[in-house]
Amino acid sequence: MKKSYASEVVFLSTPEQISQLLHLDEKKPEPWREEELRDMVRHQMSASLEFDLSSVHVNEPESKIISKSFIFAAQSEMRTFDDLFRNPNPPVELLRLSQRFFKQKVKESPKDSAEHKCSYLFYLLSIVVARIRCNINICRLTDEEQLHAINSMMKRFWVVDDRIRELLGDCQKRISKL
């Protein structure tokens, strides 16, 4: 008979090991390593728009507009966040939805956790893409605040993706010229 995981390991455990498990805290962030944050960013870029964004709570009038945006996106082969951000004509409603989704994730995640950092980057990217592709400012941050945020992200060791750095760089130049 196959042993369960518990019977295999628990009865050989030390007080230190048991203590770690008893003090498990669902609010404590996972200690993701540096290279894992890069993997997380890469994963988020390739994540399905519909999978993540369909979880955002919207009211009835919004839902009709967003449904149409999803249909347009699918027809234009915009299925992932990477597709959305690189498209020359992204639906601004999806960018707004993306901004809301990641803003919520930032609020929910423990500060300084990998989830928090990754979500903030994509929150910023949603704003950046709306500015450079649609020429629309979809947030209340001032130009100075947006520039500060972009400059800060460009310095992060885990923001290595060329596509992301190009988007941030373009927006940086655009705002600086104003």
**Residue 112 engages another protein in binding (rule: CB under 8 A):** no
CB of 20 vs another protein, minimal distance in Å: 5
In angstroms, what CA-CA distances link 120 with 13, 75, 169?
39, 28, 17
| Buried-exposed string 125-143: b where 16+ CB fall within 10 A, e elsewhere | bbbbbbbbbeeeebbeeee
Structure tokens, 164? 């992301």
**Residue 11 engages another protein in binding (rule: CB under 8 A):** yes
CB of 38 vs another protein, minimal distance in Å: 9
CB of 47 vs another protein, minimal distance in Å: 4
User: With contact defined as beta carbons under 8 Å apart, do 151 and 172 qualify?
Assistant: yes
Q: Which of 1, 2, 21, 178 binds another protein (CB under 8 A)?
A: 21
**Residue 1 engages another protein in binding (rule: CB under 8 A):** no
CB of 27 vs another protein, minimal distance in Å: 9
CA dihedral sign, ordered 101, 44, 88, 70: negative
For the segment 141-170, give every residue that binds another protein (CB under 8 A).
Answer: none
| Cα-based angle 62, 64, 70 (whole degrees, multiple of 5) | 100
Q: Which of 33, 64, 68, 173 binds another protein (CB under 8 A)?
A: 33
Residues of this chain that interact with another protein (CB under 8 A) are 4-7, 9-26, 30, 32-33, 35-36, 39-40, 43-44, 47-48, 51-52, 55, 105, 109, 115, 118
